[in-house]
Amino acid sequence: MKQVGRVSPNHLQSVVAAVLNPWVAVGILLLLAFVIFNMTALSWADLTYVLPATSFGYVLVALIARFALHEHITPLRWIGIALIAGGVGFVAGGPALTVPTCDAQLADRVNAPTVAAASGAKS
């Protein structure tokens, strides 16, 4: 963002310049992809499965910032990350409420070879 300078919502040109910055544009696209994948995962699985996978990002980003980018991360932030990880572990340890469903036609197609083989063996 140092390339763009100060961005004010009152100046539309500065906002457009910030959004069109390649780094910001890639960040927006990655955020959009994350939201789509997260919504898809939540439609397939229970929160107790999806939450640990998504919140692992907090720990991963902090580790990358510390060791790859040599950023200083305060002890308070490490405590916050530990609390998030602990909360995720607590939620992940809970019961899964997702009940697997199966389409009746799909079940018939999957079970048809088994039923045919069993009835052929009895004859």
Cα 44–Cα 45–Cα 48 angle in degrees, nearest 5? 160
Q: Which residue has the tokens 């036609």?
A: 105
Digits of tens for pLDDT over the chain (123 positions)?
566 667 777 777 777 877 888 888 899 999 999 899 988 988 887 777 777 777 788 888 899 999 998 999 999 999 998 898 888 778 777 666 656 566 555 556 655 555 555 555 554
Per-domain boundaries in the chain: 1-44, 45-123
Residue 21 near residue 9, CB atoms below 8 Å: no
Sign of the C-alpha dihedral, residues 64, 66, 71, 73?
positive
Predicted TM-score of the model (pTM): 0.53
Question: Alpha-carbon distance 19 to 3, whole Å?
Answer: 12
